[in-house]
Structure 1
Amino acid sequence: MSTLFDLVVKGGPTMIPMVGLSIATVSCALERGWFWFQLMQGEERVAHDVLEASRYSLEEARAIAEQHQSTPIGRFLLAPLRLNQPTPETFNLALEAAGEQEFVQMRKGDKLLETVVAIAPLLGLLGTVTGLIVTFMNLNIGGSAAGGAGDVSKAAGGIAEALITTASGMIVAIVALAAFRVSVTLQTRQMDYFSKVGSELELIYRQAWYEPTIGEGLRPEPVISSRS
């Protein structure tokens, strides 16, 4: 810990915002990791149970989705199932609206990570410039031997500041970029999965509940479970 603190001190003033960016990046990465872990826990089982139940009872499918309202997939599938005898168009709109709300939560933190990726290298470059300025200001070319050792020490301190800030900026940016790319990949996967599950539920509703009643010239009747 003391070595890390010494590096921060030797890095100069630009290390102060760099430390802030690193803390924000790690915090965001941990929060997003926990979010995705919770999201994907039992997701496929919930979707399977809701889809299977919807084949014989929309009421039971809705009950299963209500039991999992704390999960994104549960809220997504519940949105159209809680409607009263919707048309396929309304059913689809409910799915799309619920999906958009969930995707907003999935994209949380992306702007912060993008900002860190852009700012951290610039802060590192700024620290490099200030460190080189300190180095050249303390160079005593042709000076007396008495002050030479002190000047060399100060110049070395400026070089160390330049290198430390450059490395810190690159490390913070790399970590933020890695966290951002992982998050984007998971978002794409989740959007595809939501689209697949939503399409299956919509197809079941059309074929099992809406089209038969239209063929009989009737509106869809309230669904009663066939299970005893």
Structure 2
Amino acid sequence: MQVTSHFYAQLTIAIIKGVASCLRLFHVLGLIILCSSLSLPLHAIEQSSNTQIKQVHLHDNQGKSINIGQLHVQADGQFTFELRDEVFSDHFLSMKEMKYIEGPELWCHIAYPYPLNRDFNADKAWLSHDLLFMYKKSNQFGAMMWQGVYYKFTKEDGRLIGYANGVDLSEIASAPEQIHTPFYDESYMEPHNAQERWLPTLTID
């Protein structure tokens, strides 16, 4: 009986040690899996490091600038514009909420309502369509959509500079017939008088 009891005692100890070893193995495997899963976001961050982030500024005619957001340009050239909400105030005009920058004039960002060619390396007119604005005096009532501002871009000293041109934004109420060409034709635009408008230029760098 003593031999049998000793045998079962040794067997029990061996089983306990085996179970403990298995638990340690599962613990190690769990840590490996956890570390592997945590490494995925890091890899995603490394991939996103290929994104260029460009600052978008509006400039007044006194030399002051306002950072209104960022342009994110992916490695394949696709861009998105991210507005800085804290710079803008919300106003209801013509039963619609709009975002304004307040100054000598109210400067409202107007989102282009149709698909855009978001290739940064393509015609910069598409980029201009993503940066449409409307201006109005604070004492003017309602939305003055015919007082549109279109920034026509040129490249100077390694950065893009947009100069304010006049457009009638009420025209985009009707969907364009051709979606593969920019809605507004730059050849028919007239530049705003830089001394009359509050924010006559826009830069991206």
TM-score normalised to the size of structure 1? 0.23
Higher normalized contact order (CA 8 Å, seq sep 6+, divided by chain length): 1
TM-score normalised to the size of structure 2? 0.25
Which has the larger helix fraction?
1
